[in-house]
Amino acid sequence: MIGEILKGLGTTLKHMFMPPVTIQYPEVERPVRYRFKGRHELKRYDTGLERCIGCSLCAAACPADAIFVEAAENTNEERYSPGERYARVYEINMMRCIFCGYCEDACPTQAIVLEDRYELSFYDRASAIYTKEMLLTAVPERGLATPQQTAPGTYDRSIPDMENPR
């Protein structure tokens, strides 16, 4: 019994003189792993059009029922995404989200992505619902403004051919 106590004290003394491994957050942000699933983002194409085509496959795949998508039709005067439809309303209830990544896997256009941002705080329930605008401007310098005007017949596919843009 005394030997075990001395062994425990030896371990304590050994670690007492080691340098601390504390990261000074928020001055120093902790690096995350490659497969980390953090804050959701809605992506855009290089042309500025939104990738989301309003198919609601992410909402169907979500086991926590945290995603709500309402689709609307694109017009040539107001073009939000390539193809016929776009997500007029896209909301994620972050209080229900379990960060499983099924929405990311179900998306045919890679529109919704779980990125590496881990600062997810809110003070009331209304702030826990992330809207389409919040998801598109998660990193403001990455996005472009929509809607855009396009010539009739320019986009006839939901996923544009980026090698041969019309």
CATH code, domain carrying 65 = 3.30.70.3270
Determine the pLDDT at residue 92: 96
Q: Is 28 a member of any domain?
A: no
Q: Is 65 a member of any domain?
A: yes
Q: What does the block give as tokens for 81?
A: 């995404």
Range of the domain at 100: 41-151
Question: How far is it between the farthest Cα atoms of the chain?
Answer: 86
Q: Is 23 a member of any domain?
A: no
**Residue 82 and residue 158 in contact, taking contact as beta carbons nearer than 8 Å:** yes
Tens digit of pLDDT at every position of the chain (166 positions): 888 999 999 999 988 888 888 888 889 888 888 889 999 999 988 888 899 999 999 999 999 999 999 999 988 888 888 888 999 999 999 999 999 999 999 999 999 999 988 888 889 999 999 999 999 875 555 545 565 666 666 666 656 555 554 4
Determine the pLDDT at residue 166: 46
- How far are the Cα atoms of 57, 103, 108 from residue 63, in angstroms, in the given order? 12, 9, 18
- How far are the Cα atoms of 62, 135, 150 from residue 96, in angstroms, in the given order? 10, 16, 38
